[in-house]
Amino acid sequence: QIQLVQSGPELKKPGESLKISCKASGYTFTDYAMQWVKQAPGKGLQYMGWINTQTGKPTYADDFKERFVFSLETSASTAYLQINNLKNEDTATYFCARLEFGVFDYWGQGVMVTVSS
Amino acid sequence: DIQMTQSPASLSASLGETVTIECLASEDIYSNLAWYQQKPGKSPQLLIYDASSLQDGVPSRFSGSESGTQYSLEINSLQSEDAATYFCQQHHDYPYTFGAGTKLELK
């Protein structure tokens, strides 16, 4: 069955960096783009952007053009989200999601990131 | 960016009732709208895509419709497991944008 399994929760200090993984299984990884979505505590869903799993080309939504990096390890069917120079407002749950015809049909379980001094 | 105005922000209903949640797009999105259900501590799950197509495995009590730039999610015969937050999402134009969400509580 199709699964997206993300890495575990993170507790970081402001200014640090982190890298979240999203491992796909049950389908051909390069057949579908991967999206990233942020959900701050008690808030709605914010679209961060996507990465083309065939070319590795990332596209970022405006709010995520600085400090955020999408990458791949295609041989391991894994997508990554790196956040540099962490800020308190990065405290959120981050989801990866597979994109098919514009909709997110499968989601990872989410990674809770806490940024606190 | 296309704005999605979702209403109501919350609602309370009884088992067996029918509820409707709406999303208004700031411009024509040509039926490129999806609805998701999210339960506390869980990831969102796709319910409906292309405004009215039911995702595999989703109960038929969920349905979607549209009128111009107004999109609606109707849930018939509410069940206890329908308590959740519901989000709309347009997938017509990049960046894809979500509505703010509707929290559905069962009385």
Among candidates B95, B94, B89, B104, which has minimal Cα distance to B25? B89
Residue pairs between chains A and B whose CB atoms are closer than 8 Å: 54
Percent of chain B with pLDDT over 90: 98
Find the closest chain A residue to B32 by CA distance: A102
With a CB cutoff of 8 Å and minimum separation 6, the contacts of B63 are B48, B52, B54, B73, B74, B76
Q: What percent of chain A has pLDDT over 70?
A: 100
- Taking an 8 Å cut-off on Cβ atoms, the answer to whether B92 and A102 are in contact is yes
Quote the pLDDT of residue A49: 95
| pLDDT for the residue numbered B106 | 95
CB contact under 8 A, B36 and A104: yes
What's the mean pLDDT when you consider all of chain B? Answer: 96
CB-based contacts of B30, cutoff 8 Å, min separation 6 = B92
- Is the model's pLDDT at A102 over the cut of 90? no
Residues 6+ apart with CB under 8 A from A82: A17, A18, A19, A20, A68, A69, A70, A71
pLDDT in tens, B24-56: 999 999 999 999 999 999 999 999 999 999 999
Q: Are B85 and B98 in contact, with CB atoms under 8 Å apart?
A: no
Give bridge partners of residue A10 from the DSSP assignment. A113
The size of chain B, in residues, is 107
Identify the band that residue A4 occupies on the pLDDT scale cut at 50, 70 and 90.
very high
pLDDT in tens, A15-52: 999 999 999 999 999 999 999 999 999 999 999 999 99
Distance from CA of A50 to the nearest CA of B (A): 10
pLDDT at A101: 84
